[in-house]
Amino acid sequence: MTPLAEAEFIVLTGPLGSGKTTLLMDHLAAPEASGIGVIVNEAGAVDVDGAILSTARTGLSLAQLPNGCICCSLGNDLLGAIDTLIAAQADAGGPPFRQIVLECSGLAYPAPIVRSVAAFRRHAFRLRILSTFDGTAGPPDEAMLPVVAAQLAAAQAIVVTKAELADTAGLDRALTAVSGYNPLLKPIVLPDRSARAAAAFAPGPTRATPRTLMADQPTGHPRVKVFRIEWSAPPAWAVVADWLDALSDTLGDRLLRVKGLLTLEGYPDVLLIESVGTVYATPRRIAAQGGPDQGLVVIARDIDCSVLSTIAGDCQDVPRPTVVETSLPRLSD
């Protein structure tokens, strides 16, 4: 199979009933939405019209959407679905996809999906996680907290849906809840559905606005906390890598997100380090300029500072980082 030219792969996640399908359909209804592949992992989750495209590759159900996009319903084989989707587009004589959207179940954790897509070597994707949150809803109940917290903390953009239906007090409650799960971002809040979809799926740096969390700013749910991790001097990469490994081993699925900028010992550039749960992206170089704020932000549930302060990693005789539950650095996405 011919590798797909680099396209954006969007993992569309969010709690049950938070408007993922409506947001996606609003996006697909736009005139500029051609050249998009859609994968849904719930049968019937997207109401598509048009002819069913037969395929014997994986037995997936494929449909041609009115604007020329192709949709398929996903069973358990994500990578097979991606291959089938791309092959169907090529067989139909269409151009390579510029964007593929995977609409997840409201019960899905994003980290395993990110791990699968990141390991897919046949195609080069720019991976992005887009999460929805119902503007008319308050915080989730305790039973749903782990999955909702994981979905929102992992996001590079959060869309508050149904904003046109919420009163001011209700919308304020929703925004406070969202900030508790991912204080790194200002959510997209627009009452017009078309404008909301356009902003949510827009490529480039305008898709999300970073924010700075002040020490006295409310952080939403008491079980979800945000910590800043700092070393007193630039650490060696081995120290950081061992600490991150120990962090993942200690917290497991309680670790929701890591993101930060670090200068390393003997290394001229600043590194952007980030994870979705315990799945880490390859660190990216950022040219040192203007002395950006240094440190790692850790978003986790059901822990406190004492847990993080005891994590040392495998390196011996090296200073442990300082752990504080306080202000966050301003991080670009």
Residues 163-196 pLDDT 10s = 999 888 888 888 888 888 888 888 999 999 999 9
Structure tokens, 257: 């997100």
What pLDDT score does 327 carry? 39
Domain ranges of the chain: 7-210, 224-324
Closest Cα partner for 308 from 262, 249, 222, 241?
249
What pLDDT score does 152 carry? 93
Residue range 224-324 forms a domain whose CATH class is alpha beta
- Contact residues for 92 (Cβ-Cβ < 8 A; gap 6+): 53, 64, 70
Residue with tokens 């991912």: 182
Sheet containing 7-13: order of strands:
52-53, 62-64, 70-73, 36-40, 99-103, 7-13, 125-134, 157-161
What pLDDT score does 333 carry? 40
| Cα distance between residue 69 and residue 63, in whole Å | 9
Q: Beta-carbon neighbour count of residue 9 at 10 Å?
A: 26
Which residues is 11 bridged to in the sheet?
A: 102, 129
pTM assigned to the model = 0.79
What pLDDT score does 71 carry? 64
- Choice among 62-66, 115-119, 205-209, 256-260 with the minimum mean pLDDT: 205-209
CA angle 149, 245, 117 (to 5 degrees): 60
CATH architecture for residues 7-210: 3-Layer(aba) Sandwich (3.40)
The mean per-residue pLDDT over the stretch 8-36 comes to 87
Pairing of strands 284-286, 270-276: antiparallel
Query: Which band of pLDDT confidence, cut at 50, 70 and 90, is reported for residue 43?
Result: very low
Does residue 86 or residue 59 have the better pLDDT? 86
* Residue 251 CA to its chain's centroid (Å): 19
Q: What is the DSSP string of 94-139?
A: PPPPSEEEEEPPTT--HHHHHHHHHT--SS-EEEEEEEEEETT--S
What pLDDT score does 13 carry? 93
**For residue range 120-170, what is the model confidence (pLDDT) as tens digits?**
767 778 889 999 999 998 777 788 889 999 999 999 999 999 999 988 888
